[in-house]
Structure 1
Amino acid sequence: MSHVRLLPRFALGLSLSLALPGALPAHAQGFDQSQLPSLGGASPSASQEEFRLGRAWLRQFRAQAPVWQDAIVSDYFEGLVARLTPYSQLGGLNTTTVMVDHRSLNAFAVPGGVVGINSGLFAFADDEAEFASVIAHELGHLSQRHYARGSERAGQTQLPAMAGMLAGMLIAASGGGEAGIAAAMGSQAAVMQDRLAYSRRFEQEADRVGLQAMATAGFDPEAMVRMFASMQRLARLQGGTPPEFLLTHPVSDSRLSDAQARVAQLTVADSYRSDTLYDLMRARALLSIYANTPDQALSRLAQDGADESARRYLGALISARRGQVDSALGELDRLAAEYPDYAMLPASAAEVALQANRIDEAITRAERWLRFMPSYLPAQMILAEAQLQRDPRAAFDLLRRITDRYPENPQAFNLLATAAGRSGYNGWGHLAQAEYLQLTGRVDRGIQQLAIAKSAAQQENDTALTALIDQRREAFLDYRDALSTFN
């Protein structure tokens, strides 16, 4: 029996709860410390230890993995997770998402409430329901706390077992493949047979929770069966070197049969399909995968039978990359008129204008859409980046609001650091840079930045900011302690 089938199906379970005590002084409004990340505050469904390690894992992961930074796709992914979460038996557990820039099929769930995907999942899943089936399965692992239950059954001490498991997941999810899975096994070989039998049960439990969540959320649960069948074919074609997801989530005939039987018993809620929107996201994913040969992305999209609008969308993005900006913007505007409910289309046009250095046009386009949908994060981020070139103070104010609402967004803090520096708020600039550093796993450097931020805040006579920096230093020290588990 191969060791490689034993890993990340156990590495599952909890939440990014965000809490720091106390109210923010009036001087510092716009940077709500109650929303800043903390490693404390575990929910009843997960231990404090799991929270701390899972959140530390996310920071370590961002430092080492090829993270896929696409605000438009990230917003879609988070929305899909949010649609499934209320039906996934998570008990109010918060989740956060991360995307990996890698063409292989993979998805994972990690203690800390982290749900991750590779860009390759979009390439493999033909429609939205198939994509959702993988996410629903991972949420099922989280809700059932399979990692903690697996450790308890194996009679292991949770801290070293969990740290070893997450370290291996970090390597595997970063593209280390079987080496990462073998590393995660470590001393677990002695309990391999027991773990494997139990893990098959975990897979079945996650399937059942996921199928029910899909049906209740209005997705066709039959899509999970289709995904299993496709994965089974892929595993047979690739023999001993299938993608990580199939190594850690093997699809057996009995698992496929069980899923089919469960589907027959489910009643699907009023179905909501957005395969056109999904195909638009697939277009972005394929363009990322085939960045150096974009025509291959277009061929792949057409070959898979994607909606014509998605092919037109991808063609526009390719045209923009080739310098045909007016043509690209014209096509995006036509698509936006045809699909007025898809915020990502006008946001894409603003993004194209920004990338072409048409700053004023990017600002106009982003502001126009935000009048209709003020909280749409991709348009906010595009507007903030464009405003950095024209009105850094406006960018600073906008990014303060964004980081209040999205305190786990490294890119927002990175932009905020630039905006603060250009606006003359040096204390805020160094604090934002410190937050960016700790969110991306470089906590020691973040602590150094906090010292510089405090000095700048004192020079600016900003007592509220100085107090906030002191509080953040305590949190950073806790982050560092948790991260040391992986070293």
Structure 2
Amino acid sequence: MKKILLACSLGLCTSLAQAQSVDFNSTPQFDVPEIGSGVGLLDQQKERAIGEKVYREVHKQLPVTQNPWIEDRLTLVFSHILSQTQLSQPVGLLLINDAQINAFAVPGGLFALNAGLINSARNMDEVAGVMAHEIAHVSQRHYSRSQEAFKGQGLLSLAGILVGAIVASQADGDVGAAVMMGSQAALMDKQLTYSRNQEREADRIGMQYMYRAGFNPQSMADFFEVMHRATSRVSFLPDFWLTHPLTTERMSEARLRANQLPVVKTSLVDQDFEILRWYSRVLSGQATELQLNSMVAQKNYAAELALVSLHIQQGDFSAAQKLLDEAHKQNATHALFIILQTDVLLGQNKISDALNAVRSSAIVMPENRALNYKYAEALIRNKDYAQAQIILQRFLQLNPRDVSGWRLMLQMANADRDATFRSINVLRYRAEVEYWTGNEENAIKSLLQAERIAKDSKSLSATIKQRVDQMQKERMLKI
């Protein structure tokens, strides 16, 4: 069955049914409005709690790609754009393993991109345009303003509808249709109608954000055209998409706005983006071995690394190493090369060699999460648990929602059989993994079990109880 493509109410794919008049002859404006809290708007703390709730729900219901290198690469671009706003640190930036071109944002600063968006973009500036659009939705507090427009429908309900719509888009056509025929579909349709001007506002302000961050504003208009071509090839679309198409007016407005701004050059050959795109295609199952072999024959470095990743998935470490030896001739210092080389050596149980492959780069770049997580993984395999824990805790203090970090902490606790409080720590770290991947009930059960085991240690028991209380309180938010 064909998948149903769904337009999220505040996602990039939500579009305009009619165009307002815009003065394209005026001087470009850079005094971007920041809509702060106002009468009737939710306070930022509540928005953040909602953002974290949806973060957990998205992990539970959607195939989130857990890959520190891709996450860090996208976050770097995202942070450049975010720095042009007055927004606080976001809840997170997630990559969804979905071939459709889409993105969405929710209150509190949760942003998500589909793998299909990365795979379809031609350069990082096009991805930056999507990010800027979604950041503008949050900076202008569109969800909070929507709540004011729809009395009786809470902001959390609107966020829940967003998650439901995205989940439906993952489903078989009949299942997706059934979801969208419910009461949520009716409210979603109303919300789409209301958000037309918000979409225009997100286009306009997002373009200013991306330009000020150094990205080419023409790329936002370019990617609108990519989206338009992609949707025109689909044989079946839901009614509410057809009533709110990606109009030529919206594409024209974006192009005219971009033409007002000074020229920003986009590199015709961006090897780092090519690496990102082909690596993402492998992880999302959108690249074939035949495709990659054809490119490898032409000494394409991005394809070489992507094919190495595919061989690692297949457990063919010998073939992966052979390709890495070839890639080494072009660039042996790229972070992904080092990570993949370490993976191959760990897969071959060459622990000492794996440590040597990643150690120096991780130490020289202590802020590089992907390299340091791979270093921590090698340290765990080498039974150097104390050093691994120092590295992992450093990043988890910065972002306690980091599922990859908690999984490594759990791996470490399971491996360190001589550790004091080992069974307690296994339960605590498992609880964090469960909690941030949306399994709230299991997380609380794990912590309650840890609390019972730790009853003879008053300080540890109190710490665990405090975390249990916090989880139970946050769990009360219902989507």
Length-normalised TM-score, structure 2: 0.81
Does the aligned pair in 1 maintain the 2:281–2:287 contact within 8 Å?
Answer: no
Q: Deviations over 1:311-370 (max 9, x none)?
A: 333344445554324323323433434xx4x43332232233223433222222121211
Q: Is the 8 A contact 2:279 2:305 kept in 1?
A: no
Which sections of structure 2, spanning at least 5 residues, go unmatched? 14-35
Contact 1:392 1:422 (8 Å CA) reproduced: no
Does 2:379 match 1:387? yes
Q: Tell me the amino acid that sits aligned with residue 396 of structure 2.
A: T
* Displacement after TM superposition at 1:254 (Å): 0.8
In the alignment, is residue 168 of structure 1 matched against residue 164 of structure 2? yes
Q: Name the residue aligned to 1:82.
A: 79
Q: 2:368 aligns with which of 376, 383, 399?
A: 376
Counterpart residue type for residue 455 of structure 1: R
d(CA) in 2 for partners of 1:372, 1:11: 38
Partner of 2:60: 63
CA contact (8 A) 1:51 1:112 kept: yes
Cα distance in 2 for partners of 1:405, 1:146 equals 27
Contact 1:128–1:274 (Cα < 8 Å) also in 2: no
Distance 1:421-1:436 versus aligned 2 partners, 3 A rule: same
Higher alpha-carbon deviation: 189-198 or 438-447? 189-198
Identify the residue that residue 347 of structure 1 maps to in structure 2.
339
Q: Which residue of 2 aligns with 1:219?
A: 215
Quick one: percent identity of the two aligned structures? 28
- Residues 270, 192 of structure 1: alpha-carbon distance in 2 compared, 3 angstrom cutoff: closer
- Shift in alpha-carbon separation, 1:62–1:262, aligned structure 2, 3 A: same
**Counterparts of 2:243 and 2:82 in 1: how far apart (Å)?**
23
Do residues 331 (structure 1) and 323 (structure 2) align? no
- SS of structure 2 residue aligned to 1:9: coil
- Tell me the SS of whatever aligns to 2:415: helix
Give 1:40-439 correspondences, 5 Å limit.
46-47=42-43, 48-87=45-84, 89-159=85-155, 161-162=157-158, 164-172=160-168, 174-175=170-171, 183=179, 186-187=182-183, 195-241=191-237, 250-267=245-262, 275-290=270-285, 293-297=288-292, 308-318=300-310, 321=314, 322=316, 323-337=318-332, 340=333, 342-394=334-386, 395-423=388-416, 424=419, 425-426=421-422, 427-439=424-436
Output the aligned Cα RMSD: 3.5
- Quick check: 1:455 aligned with 2:457? no
Quote the Cα distance in structure 1 between the aligned partners of 2:103 and 2:351.
Answer: 36
Give the drift of 1:232: 1.3
| Selected match of 1:475 from 443, 464, 470 | 470
Query: What code does the residue aligned with 2:460 have?
Result: L
Q: Which amino acid aligns with 1:413?
A: W
Distance 1:392 1:422, change over 3 A: farther
Pairwise CA distance, 1:292: 8.4
The 3 A distance-change label for structure 1 pair 220 and 408 is: same
Unaligned runs of 5+ in 1: 13-41
Change (3 A) 1:172 1:248: farther
- Distance in 1 of aligned mates of 2:183 and 2:374: 47
Output the amino acid matched with 1:329.
L
Work out the CA distance in 2 between the residues paired with 1:104 and 1:284.
17
Higher helix share: 1
- 2: CA distance, partners of 1:284 / 1:46: 39
Counterpart residue number, 2:26:
none
- Cα 1:361–1:281 shift into 2, 3 Å: same
User: Do 2:210 and 2:216's aligned partners in 1 also have CA atoms closer than 8 Å?
Assistant: yes
CA distance in 2, matches of 1:273, 1:178: 42
In terms of mean alpha carbon deviation, does 322-331 or 427-436 score higher? Answer: 322-331
Bigger shift: residues 201-210 or 268-277:
268-277
State the distance in 2 between where 1:6 and 1:247 align.
10
> 1:258: Cα distance to partner?
0.9
TM-score (structure 1 length as normaliser): 0.80
